[in-house]
């Protein structure tokens, strides 16, 4: 375990030093800060637009960070040959992979926490600190996004064990996009009586087997507080378990592939 933590902490340090990630983070934070100026676009819906937009900024920025952070992780180590200095020590490959993943997730968590703090500050300045309960409510979505991005990072690290970073970027990004649409597409296909049975079957299969990122898009009740959610906490626990299960699948898959790979 100490080995894994050691690799993870080194990875966090590396991630924080990477300029490209810091630039993406900076852009995200800047957008969050100027977001209140764009609420004029919707009469009577300023608050709704502001929450929707800021959560969208966090989600998009986090997704880009998660992918950029992880796609280069393993290939860079191999390319620079730094992996040899690690693997020649008493470090198993699986420990290396898991350590790298945990480091990436920790770095991601730090960056998302920073963005969430900016989000809360923006709202505290605009709406006043007296509405603390709403600010806490606001932080719920980034918490779910964190699970979502951890899953995305697992997808990217899985692919990074056998494809090049560029391919991995599009593969992970594409899977994230498709995974975000799964529930909606599945809903359309299953509720349409004219959908072919084959399409319905495929949609059911895809919705069951492939990683479903849409589960973590829980903005609706936060953006529109009038909406009543049944068993909200249970839902959050379930999707977190789902995320952990899927991260487990991807890491195990990555370990199997990485173990066989010649470096």
Partner 1 sequence: MKGNKAKLFGVMAVLLVGAGLLQRTAIYPSWKKNFAPRQQGLSSDLSPDQLLVAMAGFRELIAGILWVRADSFFDTGNYDAILPIIRLVTWLDPKQIDVYSTGMWHIAYNFTDEEQRSDRRYVPPALALGKEGAENNPHTYEMFFETGWLWYHKIDDDHQKAVNWFQQALERKDIDFIAARKNLLSNALQRNGQVREALDFYLKLLADAEKVYEKDPSFGNQQNRDTIENNIDTMLVRMSQRGWFATQLGYRDQGEYDIDPPFDVGFSAQVTVEDPMVLRIRGSWNVQPVGSRIRFILRDSDFPNAVPGGMEWDKTDSVSLDPPKNITYVQDGLFVRNRRFDRKIDMSRDKTMYPCTKPDYVIEFFYNPRSAPPHIQDKFGWNGEGMTDKNFLNTEIRPGSRVIFATLKLTRDQLLRRGEWIDRVPVVQTPNYVPPKRLKDEPRMIAVPSTRAETAGGPNEPAPELAPSK
181 binds partner 1 (CB under 8 A): yes
d(CA 47, CA 127): 9
Stretch binding partner 1 (CB under 8 A), from 17-25, 97-105, 164-172, 186-194: 186-194
Q: Burial letters for 71-87: b for 16+ Cβ neighbours within 10 Å, e otherwise?
A: bbbbbebeeeeebeebe
Nearest distance, CB of residue 16 and partner 1, angstroms? 25
Out of 4, 29, 59, 67, the only residue in the binding site for partner 1 (CB under 8 A) is 59
34 binds partner 1 (CB under 8 A): no
Q: What share of the chain is helix, strand, coil (3-state, %, to 5)?
A: 85, 0, 15
Nearest distance, CB of residue 12 and partner 1, angstroms? 26
d(CA 34, CA 108): 23
Out of 5, 38, 132, 166, the only residue in the binding site for partner 1 (CB under 8 A) is 38
Are 168 and 156 contacting, i.e. CB atoms less than 8 angstroms apart? yes
Out of 27, 45, 110, 121, the only residue in the binding site for partner 1 (CB under 8 A) is 45
Nearer to partner 1, 12 or 138 (CB): 138
155 binds partner 1 (CB under 8 A): no
User: x-or-dash pattern for partner 1, window 196-235, by CB under 8 A?
Assistant: --------x--xxx--x-xx-xxxxx-xx-xx-xxxx-xx
157 binds partner 1 (CB under 8 A): no
170 binds partner 1 (CB under 8 A): no
Nearest distance, CB of residue 204 and partner 1, angstroms? 8
C-alpha distance from residue 262 to each of 143, 152, 166, 192 (Å): 38, 25, 20, 49
C-beta contacts of 233-237 below 8 A and 24+ residues apart: 236/140, 236/144
Nearer to partner 1, 68 or 144 (CB): 144
Stretch binding partner 1 (CB under 8 A), from 6-14, 81-89, 103-111, 252-260: 252-260
Nearest distance, CB of residue 7 and partner 1, angstroms? 20
Q: Burial letters for 130-144: b for 16+ Cβ neighbours within 10 Å, e otherwise?
A: eeeebbeebeebbeb
């Amino acid at each position: 375990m100490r080995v894994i933590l050691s690799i993870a902490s080194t990875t966090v340090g590396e991630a924080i030093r990477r300029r490209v990630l810091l630039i993406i983070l900076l852009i995200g934070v800047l957008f969050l800060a100027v977001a209140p100026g764009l609420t004029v676009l919707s009469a009577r819906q300023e608050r709704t637009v502001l929450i929707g937009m800021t959560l969208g900024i966090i989600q998009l920025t986090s997704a880009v960070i998660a992918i950029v952070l992880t796609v280069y992780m393993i290939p860079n180590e191999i390319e620079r040959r730094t992996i040899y200095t690690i693997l020649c020590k008493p470090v198993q490959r699986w420990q290396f992979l898991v350590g790298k993943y945990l480091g990436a997730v920790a770095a991601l968590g730090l960056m998302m926490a920073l963005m969430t703090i900016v989000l809360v500050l923006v709202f505290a300045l605009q709406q006043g600190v007296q509405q603390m309960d709403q600010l806490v409510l606001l932080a719920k979505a980034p918490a779910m996004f964190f699970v979502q991005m951890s899953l995305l990072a697992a997808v990217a690290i899985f692919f990074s064990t056998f494809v090049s970073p560029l391919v991995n970027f599009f593969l992970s990004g594409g899977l994230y996009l498709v995974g975000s649409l799964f529930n909606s597409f599945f809903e359309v296909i299953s509720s349409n009586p004219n959908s072919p049975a084959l399409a319905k079957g495929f949609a059911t299969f895809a919705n069951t087997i492939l990683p479903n990122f849409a589960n973590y898009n829980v903005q609706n009740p936060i953006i529109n507080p009038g909406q009543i959610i049944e068993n909200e906490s249970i839902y959050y626990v379930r999707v977190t378990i789902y995320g952990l299960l899927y991260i487990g699948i991807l890491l195990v898959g990555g370990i199997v592939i990485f173990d066989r790979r010649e470096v």
